[in-house]
């Protein structure tokens, strides 16, 4: 038995007795905002028998993709406005608890001269009615995170492909539920990780596939975003509710997704284990106390904020590669996803701007970097990049992601992110929380692919083979 594994089991046993954490545990699989501080070893190491391999799975072609949306808030409405520009998309249904949010979505269709969608609003469970509509092919989930697993599972069980905002799950049992349901129903369950379509990240992936870096041995990644106001925004009250009880990396996939694609995770390699450390919180607690002086809404949150300002997790893969993943959304800092790719021959670093590339101990100059960017920009960006920038959505990556999703579904191509990615990337939330609560002890990732990662094919970086024919409507 390797030392790290022996230590993990010992620590897990001590934690299970409460000797280490002294914490109570949340119920696994429950729809809850409480963290899963006990990672039951039997779930982490679950012997799942893969009933069907969803990696590389091509669902039957859909000439027209009929979409139903759940959640027409910031993300959902933005997506409706982008999707209405893609040929072969019919937005057939819109659902939000709030009627006025549904109306905003409806207006976005009407102003483009499109048929009105069926609407669903007024109750917390009305989305289930929409998901049962046989006239839909795809459910687009843009609700607060604790709904994601339940909405994905129900959609797939009702014969729909499911795409979900990030993260896909908050506990390991739900990750397995997604995997089992996707395999059983042969329906896609894909996370909407837009950062895997960022232009620089896509280019770095292309560079790695073409051997520019040599062997990629390490990736630094993160999500550093000053969201001190957003974290406590009353109109998005789910954020404070979902973050306040947790401590770990609670939003890992913006940095981790591109890192995993670079390292062929679930397709040749897989995430093995992580260790995670959080600083204390030095900003959000005081901020909430200050707000509560003049606003009763915040009173119940005073002295309750647990999420440390700075979380750093280190992940090792089965093939001995490493990822350093950071999370910090509560300090005054410029936006940064780091995205540093370290290879045996070269490195690239997206942030801070200007993005850099080096072949030795000095960065290449602007001209040399531009030549590399031109050479390694993938076809997907050449084809859709300019339009994506015009449409917008995080500089174009949101539109690129959605166009690619539709193009794959219409051409019967595998999706770039499958259910194993949704499960493994999001699993960092509960695993990092567990590690933080247990003296940064190592914790194993489940193998959601049940061993098939050894032979699964890497993501198609050109991303156009067999596709690329989906047209985009003129922007008015």
What string of H, E and C letters represents the secondary structure of the chain? CCHHHHHHHHHHHHHHCCCCCCCCCCCCCCCCCCCCCCCCHHHHCCCCCCCCCCCCCCCCCCCCEEEEEECCCHHHHHHHHHHCCECCEEEEEEECCCHHHHHHHHHHHHCCCCCCCEEECCCCCHHHHHHCCCCCCEEEECCCHHHHHHHHHHHHHCCCEEEECCCCCCCHHHHHHHHHHHHHHCCCEEECCHHHHCHHHHHHHHHHHCCCCCCEEEEEEEEECCCCCHHHCHHHHHHHHHHCCCCCCCCCHHHHHHHHHHCCECCCECEEEEEEEECCCCCHHHHHHHHHHHCHHHHHHCCCCCCCCCEEEEEEECCCCEEEEEEECCCCCCCECCCEEEECCCEEECCCCCCEEECCCCECCHHHHHHHHHHHCCHHHHHHHHHHHHHCCHHHHHHHHHHHHHHHHHHCCCCCCCHHHHHHHHCHHHHHHHHHHCCCCCEECCCCCCCHHHCCCCCCCCCCCCCCCCCECCCC
- Binding of residue 435 to ligand NAD (CB under 6 A): no
Closest approach, Cβ 307 to ligand NAD, in A, equals: 14
Q: Which is nearer to ligand NAD, 223 or 453 (CB)?
A: 223
Closest approach, Cβ 368 to ligand NAD, in A, equals: 32
Nearest by Cα to 446 from 470, 426, 418: 426
Q: Which is nearer to ligand NAD, 163 or 443 (CB)?
A: 163
Closest approach, Cβ 410 to ligand NAD, in A, equals: 23
- Binding of residue 19 to ligand NAD (CB under 6 A): no
Phi, psi of 113 (to 5 degrees): 70, 25
Q: Which is nearer to ligand NAD, 183 or 193 (CB)?
A: 193
- By CB under 6 A, the residues from 144 to 183 that bind ligand NAD are 144-145, 147, 165-166
Position of minimal CB gap to ligand NAD = 73
Contact window for ligand NAD (CB under 6 A) among 31-39, 141-149, 287-295, 324-332: 141-149
Q: Which is nearer to ligand NAD, 8 or 298 (CB)?
A: 298
Instruction: Determine the size of the site formed for ligand NAD (CB under 6 A).
Output: 25
- Binding of residue 236 to ligand NAD (CB under 6 A): yes
Among 45, 98, 112, 457, binds ligand NAD (CB under 6 A): 98
Q: Which is nearer to ligand NAD, 308 or 393 (CB)?
A: 393
Q: Cα dihedral sign for 396, 398, 402, 407?
A: positive
Q: Which is nearer to ligand NAD, 127 or 351 (CB)?
A: 127
Residues 6+ apart with CB under 8 A from 327: 222, 223, 224, 249, 250, 251, 252, 310, 311, 313
Among 119, 155, 171, 194, binds ligand NAD (CB under 6 A): 194
Q: For tokens 């979380």, what's the residue? A: 311
- Binding of residue 142 to ligand NAD (CB under 6 A): yes
Q: For tokens 């300002």, what's the residue? A: 309
Site mask for ligand NAD (CB under 6 A), range 110-139, x = bound: --------------x--x------------
Closest approach, Cβ 144 to ligand NAD, in A, equals: 5
Q: Which is nearer to ligand NAD, 76 or 414 (CB)?
A: 76
Q: Which is nearer to ligand NAD, 32 or 369 (CB)?
A: 32
Contact window for ligand NAD (CB under 6 A) among 96-104, 196-204, 260-268, 466-474: 96-104
- Binding of residue 306 to ligand NAD (CB under 6 A): no
Closest approach, Cβ 223 to ligand NAD, in A, equals: 10
Q: Which is nearer to ligand NAD, 124 or 367 (CB)?
A: 124
Q: Are 258 and 201 in contact (CB under 8 A)?
A: yes
Q: Which is nearer to ligand NAD, 101 or 410 (CB)?
A: 101
- By CB under 6 A, the residues from 328 to 347 that bind ligand NAD are none
Q: Which is nearer to ligand NAD, 166 or 205 (CB)?
A: 166
Closest approach, Cβ 267 to ligand NAD, in A, equals: 22
Return d(Cα 423, Cα 419) in angstroms, integer. 6
Among 101, 246, 404, 410, binds ligand NAD (CB under 6 A): 101
Residues 6+ apart with CB under 8 A from 439: 11, 20
Closest approach, Cβ 107 to ligand NAD, in A, equals: 15
- Binding of residue 108 to ligand NAD (CB under 6 A): no
Q: Which is nearer to ligand NAD, 97 or 109 (CB)?
A: 97
- Binding of residue 395 to ligand NAD (CB under 6 A): no
- By CB under 6 A, the residues from 21 to 80 that bind ligand NAD are 70-76
The binding site for ligand NAD (CB under 6 A) comprises 70-76, 95-98, 101, 124, 127, 142-145, 147, 165-166, 192, 194, 236, 394
């Amino acid at each position: 038995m390797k030392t790290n594994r022996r230590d993990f089991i010992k620590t897990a046993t001590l934690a299970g007795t409460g000797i280490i954490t002294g914490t109570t545990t949340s119920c696994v699989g429950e729809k809850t905002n409480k963290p899963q501080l006990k990672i039951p070893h039997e779930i982490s190491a679950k012997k799942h028998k893969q009933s069907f391999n969803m990696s590389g799975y091509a669902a039957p072609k859909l000439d027209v993709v009929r979409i139903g949306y759940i959640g027409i808030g910031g993300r959902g409405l933005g997506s409706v406005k982008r999707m209405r520009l893609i040929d072969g998309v019919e937005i057939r249904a819109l659902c939000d608890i709030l009627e006025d949010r549904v109306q905003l979505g409806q207006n976005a269709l009407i102003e483009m001269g499109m048929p009105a969608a069926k609407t669903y609003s007024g109750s917390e469970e009305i989305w289930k009615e929409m998901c049962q509509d046989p006239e839909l092919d795809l459910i687009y989930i843009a609700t607060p995170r604790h709904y994601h697993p339940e909405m994905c599972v129900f959609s797939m069980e009702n014969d729909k492909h499911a795409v979900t905002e990030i993260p896909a799950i908050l506990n390991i049992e739900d990750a397995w539920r997604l995997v089992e349901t996707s395999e059983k129903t042969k329906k896609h369950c894909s996370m909407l990780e837009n950062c895997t379509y960022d232009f620089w990240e896509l280019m770095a992936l292309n560079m790695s596939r073409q051997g520019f870096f040599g062997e990629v041995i390490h990736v630094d990644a993160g999500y550093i975003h000053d969201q001190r106001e957003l974290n406590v925004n009353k109109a998005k009250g789910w954020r404070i509710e979902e973050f306040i009880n947790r401590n770990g990396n609670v939003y890992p996939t913006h940095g981790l997704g591109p890192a995993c694609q670079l390292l062929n995770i679930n397709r040749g390699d897989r995430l093995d284990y992580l260790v995670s450390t959080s600083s204390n919180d030095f900003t959000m607690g005081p901020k909430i106390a200050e707000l509560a002086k003049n606003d009763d809404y915040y009173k119940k949150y005073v002295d309750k904020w647990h999420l440390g300002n700075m979380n750093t997790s280190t992940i090792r893969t089965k093939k001995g590669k490493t990822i350093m993943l950071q999370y910090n959304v509560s300090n005054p800092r410029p936006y940064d996803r780091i995205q540093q790719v370290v290879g045996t021959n070269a490195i690239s670093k997206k942030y801070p701007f200007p993005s850099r590339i080096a072949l030795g101990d000095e960065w290449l100059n602007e001209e040399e970097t531009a030549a590399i960017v031109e050479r390694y920009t993938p076809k997907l960006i050449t084809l859709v990049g300019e339009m994506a920038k015009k449409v917008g959505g995080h500089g174009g990556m949101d539109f690129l992601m959605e166009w690619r999703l539709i193009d794959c579904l219409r051409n019967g191509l595998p999706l770039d992110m499958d259910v194993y990615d949704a499960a493994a990337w999001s699993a960092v939330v509960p695993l990092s929380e567990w590690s933080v609560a247990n003296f940064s002890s190592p914790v194993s990732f489940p193998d959601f692919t049940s061993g098939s990662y050894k032979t699964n094919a890497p993501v198609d970086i050109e991303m156009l083979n067999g596709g690329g024919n989906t047209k985009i409507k003129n922007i008015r």
